[in-house]
C-alpha cells in the first residue's frame, strides 16, 4: 500500500504531556487555538476514540526526486513551495491507504474497531510515531530516522484491538548538531525541540490569516507556501530517499514557477491550480499576500512592479498593505 514503515504503540502519552502543555502556555501556537481546545483528546487517544488501546503508526516518504530545492531558493524570481505540497493532497492519499489497511486487519482480526487519521484530528502524530519506534523527535521538532531522515508523512489507525506493541525504540541521534536552529530564516526554533510557530514561515504562510509582521517579511525570501530549510540542512537528510508514490510528484510545474505568473492568477485560476492539493488550506488573499512579500524580496524589475501595481486595490486592505510594502521595497532598490 506504499507505506515505508508501520509500527504499533500503546496510548500512554504521559511522558509528552509536560512539553505540550508548556509549549501552549508560552503562546508558541500563535493563532492555532484548536490545539488548545482538544488538548485532552490529544494527550489521551482513548478519549478521542473510546476504548482505544493501540495506535498503528505509519510512515510514507514524500520527497519528490529532482525538484532542486536549494537551487529554487537561490532564484529570487521563482516561488518556493514546501516539497510536501507539490503533489496530491497527502490527507487523501494516506487516509485511503490507512482505511484499506484497517480493513485488512479487520479481516484477520474481526470484531474490533478501527479509525484512520492523517493530520485531520486532535492526534499527537509525532509523539505516537516516536513511541512506536518510527524515529526520534529532532531539534527542529520533526520526527527523524537515521535511515530516511525526516521527509515523510505520518498517519495513524486507532483501534481497540490488543495488538502487540513494536519492540524497537529509536535513540536520539541529533547529538551536538544545531544546523536546523542555525539556518532557520526567522529564528523560529528557539531551542532544541522548541518551535515558536509565530515566527515559523510555515505557520506565517499557511496558518496565519492576517498581516505578517514587517520584521519577518524580508526573512521569508521567496517562500510562498511553507518552508523546508530545517530539513534541507539536516545532516540526516543528506541521503534521504525520494518517494515511490506517483501522487506526490509535482503538479503544474509548481517546483519552480515564476513568482509573477503565480501572483497574476485570478481567484478562479488559483482554485484550478490548487484543486486536490494541500495548498487549498490557504485562501486566495493569503496567496496574494505571500506572493507580494516574495516579489518584494525579489529583483526590482519593471514586470514585478507592474504586476504588483495591477493588483493594488483589488482584494482587501490586508493584501494591499503587503503589495505596497513590496512596491516600496523594490522602489528603494532603484534609488
Query: What pLDDT is attached to residue 79?
Result: 98
Mean pLDDT confidence for 87-105: 95
Would you say residue 324 lies in a domain?
no
Mean pLDDT confidence for 264-286: 97
Per-residue pLDDT reduced to its tens digit, 101-160: 999 999 999 999 999 999 889 999 999 999 999 999 999 999 999 999 999 999 999 999
Per-residue pLDDT reduced to its tens digit, 165-204: 998 789 999 999 999 999 999 999 999 999 999 999 999 9
Q: Note the pTM of the prediction, 2 decimals.
A: 0.95
Tell me if residue 119 is catalytic. yes
Would you say residue 291 lies in a domain?
no
Mean pLDDT confidence for 278-298: 97
Query: What pLDDT is attached to residue 335?
Result: 65
Query: What pLDDT is attached to residue 206?
Result: 98
Contacts 24+ apart (CB under 8 A), 26-35: 26/196, 27/198, 28/194, 28/195, 28/196, 28/197, 28/198, 29/197, 30/197, 30/198, 30/203, 30/207, 30/208, 31/207, 31/208, 31/209, 32/197, 32/203, 32/207, 34/122
Would you say residue 270 lies in a domain?
no
| Number of domains, the chain | 1
Per-residue pLDDT reduced to its tens digit, 309-329: 999 999 999 999 999 999 999
Residue 333 has pLDDT above 90, yes or no: no
Residue 98 has pLDDT above 70, yes or no: yes
Would you say residue 307 lies in a domain?
no
Would you say residue 328 lies in a domain?
no
Would you say residue 140 lies in a domain?
yes
Question: Which of the following is catalytic: 10, 119, 172, 258?
Answer: 119
Mean pLDDT confidence for 239-253: 96
Residue 99 has pLDDT above 80, yes or no: yes
Share of the chain above pLDDT 90, in %: 96
Would you say residue 21 lies in a domain?
yes
Domain of residue 124, residue span: 5-257
Would you say residue 312 lies in a domain?
no
Amino acid at each position: 500500500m506504499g507505506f515505508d514503515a508501520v509500527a504499533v504503540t500503546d496510548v500512554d502519552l504521559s511522558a509528552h504531556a509536560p512539553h505540550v502543555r508548556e509549549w501552549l502556555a508560552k503562546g508558541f501556537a500563535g493563532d492555532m487555538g484548536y490545539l488548545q481546545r482538544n488538548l485532552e483528546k490529544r494527550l489521551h487517544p482513548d478519549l478521542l476514540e473510546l476504548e482505544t488501546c493501540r495506535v498503528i503508526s505509519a510512515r510514507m516518504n514524500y520527497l519528490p526526486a529532482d525538484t532542486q530545492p536549494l537551487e529554487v531558493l537561490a532564484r529570487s524570481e521563482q516561488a518556493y513551495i514546501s516539497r510536501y505540497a507539490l503533489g496530491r493532497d497527502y490527507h487523501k492519499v494516506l487516509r485511503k491507504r490507512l482505511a484499506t489497511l484497517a480493513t485488512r486487519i479487520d479481516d484477520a482480526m474481526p470484531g474490533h474497531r478501527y479509525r484512520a487519521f492523517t493530520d485531520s484530528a486532535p492526534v499527537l502524530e509525532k509523539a505516537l510515531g516516536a513511541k512506536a519506534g518510527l524515529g526520534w523527535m529532532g531539534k527542529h521538532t520533526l520526527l527523524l530516522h537515521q535511515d530516511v531522515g525526516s521527509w515523510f508523512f505520518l498517519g495513524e489507525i486507532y483501534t481497540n484491538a490488543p495488538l502487540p506493541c513494536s519492540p524497537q525504540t529509536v535513540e536520539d541521534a541529533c547529538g551536538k548538531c544545531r544546523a536546523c536552529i542555525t539556518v532557520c530564516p526567522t529564528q523560529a526554533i528557539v531551542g532544541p525541540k522548541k518551535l515558536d510557530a509565530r515566527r515559523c514561515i510555515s505557520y506565517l504562510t499557511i496558518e496565519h490569516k492576517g498581516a505578517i509582521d514587517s520584521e519577518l517579511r524580508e526573512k521569508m525570501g521567496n517562500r510562498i507556501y511553507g518552508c523546508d530549510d530545517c530539513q534541507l540542512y539536516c545532516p540526516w537528510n543528506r541521503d534521504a530517499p525520494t518517494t515511490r508514490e506517483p501522487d506526490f510528484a509535482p503538479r503544474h510545474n509548481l517546483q519552480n514557477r515564476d513568482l509573477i505568473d503565480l501572483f497574476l492568477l485570478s481567484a478562479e485560476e488559483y482554485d484550478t491550480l490548487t484543486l486536490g492539493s494541500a495548498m487549498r488550506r490557504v485562501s486566495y488573499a493569503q496567496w496574494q499576500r505571500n506572493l507580494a512579500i516574495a516579489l518584494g524580496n525579489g529583483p526590482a524589475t519593471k514586470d514585478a512592479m507592474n504586476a504588483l501595481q495591477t493588483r493594488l486595490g483589488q482584494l482587501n486592505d490586508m493584501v494591499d498593505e503587503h503589495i505596497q510594502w513590496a512596491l516600496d521595497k523594490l522602489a528603494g532598490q532603484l534609488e
